[in-house]
Amino acid sequence: MNLRRNRRVNLLDRYIFKSVLFTCAAAVGLFTFVVALPNVVKDLLGPWLAGQLDTPAFLRLIGLLFPFAISFALPMGMLTGVLLTLGRLSADSEITAMRASGISVARLARPVFILAVLCAVLAVYVNFDSMPRARVQFHRELAEAVRANPLRLIVPKTFIRDFAGYVIYIGEQDGPVFRDLWLWELDAQRRVRRVVHADSGRIDYDEASNSLIPTLDNAKVEDRDSRDPEDFSRSPRAASVERAEEVRISLDRLFSRNGIRVKTEWLTYPELRAAQARLAADPDPAPNAAATATAPVDPQREILKIELIVQEKFNLSLAVFSFALLGVPLGIKVSRRETSANLGIALLLVLGYYFLTVMVKWLDQNPEYRPELLFWLPNVLFIGLGTWLFRRLDRN
């Protein structure tokens, strides 16, 4: 008798596990698409449509965006999958039948928690290894695609704002010759301080300086007041020249000759800890050119920044389990078959979680509040609320 009962329970475990697994996979796929889509539109769609990226490179770069999107989609997908599956089982009275046969809520939820632990481990791997490597590879391949033919950046009938300090417009292109070429030179406040218009010209790439060099013929140059370029009470100086003076448009903001600049968020876990150890061992490093050009580097603040990144990624992984723990009693209690209602509940909970996380990030300038420890607050609240709801449901 006990053997038959155990077989039925094991069959029930597999049924719940598979139901939640397939629903979570579909939800993660949906949210991965939603998270990745803005990055595709912002970083890839324009260059692809303009011919700066060929289709194979475009598709490969989209694939490199998936680990980044999955790192955020996993917690949302887990919560949505649990709510949808248990809400449907509860609405169909299957949960009631299971409990009437003597199976507790904790026993029913065991396959959900096993799946949540597995997904949380997967999230740790994605956040600390797969996603950082993919982000570095994404920006490296994107820079290489642009570096292979920088002149692809120049697209006729388009205002090109990708260059630091310049805006370019080309009316039409005839082989290597551009016609109706406009060049706006900007100051530090992005105000136009010089306007150059040429009937024709060409643009060459200088690999040594990593810059574009426009050669403009029959150009008209308008120089504005350098102190206040937007003061039009005085007429700007204008001149017509057969060939404008040489201008070099740096491409370092798009790609560097020495490779891409790897952000701290793109480091793997060993690399983060190694960087933290270097800063701790050398609290007064010699200033480098990049640091002195902007602001001096504060080693303690950099150490805190790395610690916040580590804690954020750990907490984002733990959120997979936290959301599952909260989703079990909510899914059973709400008892809804409607997908939209469960998606709405999941969205509200996820927004609340990320709002708390963003609030903690705001404290990065106040180390006395220990923001690296406060990062655990959202998960503690969700786990506490889920445990309370779970025990309350189990007693009823």
- List C-alpha distances in Å: 368 to 74, 298, 364: 32, 16, 10
Same domain assignment for residues 133 and 200 = no
pLDDT in tens, 227-273: 777 766 666 666 666 566 667 887 776 666 556 678 888 899 999 99
Q: b/e string for 208-242 if b means 16 or more Cβ within 10 A?
A: eebbbebbbeebebbebeeeebeeeeeebeeeeee
The span from the CA of 285 to the CA of 278, in Å, is: 10
238: phi then psi, degrees, rounded to nearest 5: -130, 145
pLDDT score recorded for residue 269 = 93
The answer to whether position 272 is within a domain reads no
The answer to whether position 49 is within a domain reads yes
* Higher pLDDT, residue 223 or 125: 125
Same domain assignment for residues 6 and 136 = yes
* Higher pLDDT, residue 216 or 381: 381
Query: Structural domain tally of the chain?
Result: 2
Per-residue pLDDT band for 49 (boundaries 50, 70, 90) equals confident
- Residue (of 371, 373, 352, 349) closest to 362 by Cα position: 371
The answer to whether position 169 is within a domain reads yes
Sort 46 into a burial class: Cβ within 10 Å, 0-12 / 13-18 / 19+.
middle
Per-residue pLDDT band for 135 (boundaries 50, 70, 90) equals very high
Q: Residues 85, 178: contact at Cβ < 8 Å? A: no
Please report the DSSP string for 1-40 in residue order.
Answer: -HHHHHHHHHHHHHHHHHHHHHHHHHHHHHHHHHHHHHHI
Q: Is residue 108 predicted with pLDDT exceeding 70?
A: yes
Mean pLDDT of the chain: 81
Same domain assignment for residues 90 and 24 = yes
pLDDT in tens, 262-292: 888 889 999 999 988 888 887 665 544 444 4
Lowest-confidence region among 19-33, 193-207, 246-260: 246-260
**How much is the average pLDDT of 12-24?**
90
Cα 83 from chain centroid?
26
pLDDT score recorded for residue 336 = 56
Domain span holding position 170: 163-250
Sort 174 into a burial class: Cβ within 10 Å, 0-12 / 13-18 / 19+.
exposed
The answer to whether position 156 is within a domain reads no
Q: Residues 40, 73: contact at Cβ < 8 Å? A: no
Task: Using the 3D structure, point to which of 250, 267, 292 is the last residue of a domain.
Answer: 250
Place of tokens 């050009």: 293
Neighbours of 143 (CB within 10 A): 16
The span from the CA of 368 to the CA of 366, in Å, is: 5
Q: Residues 111, 16: contact at Cβ < 8 Å? A: yes
Same domain assignment for residues 121 and 172 = no
Same domain assignment for residues 6 and 127 = yes
Q: Is residue 314 predicted with pLDDT exceeding 90?
A: yes
Instruction: Give the SS3 label for residue 213.
Output: strand
pLDDT score recorded for residue 285 = 52
Same domain assignment for residues 95 and 131 = yes
The answer to whether position 157 is within a domain reads no
The answer to whether position 67 is within a domain reads yes
pLDDT in tens, 345-388: 777 888 888 888 888 878 777 777 788 788 888 899 889 988 88
Task: Using the 3D structure, point to which of 208, 227, 250 is the last residue of a domain.
Answer: 250
Same domain assignment for residues 217 and 351 = no
Same domain assignment for residues 184 and 233 = yes
Q: Is residue 195 predicted with pLDDT exceeding 90?
A: no
Q: b/e string for 363-380 if b means 16 or more Cβ within 10 A?
A: beeeeeeebbebbeebbe
The answer to whether position 262 is within a domain reads no
217: phi then psi, degrees, rounded to nearest 5: -110, 145
pLDDT score recorded for residue 288 = 44
Q: Count helices and strands (H / E) in the chain.
A: 12, 7
Same domain assignment for residues 130 and 187 = no
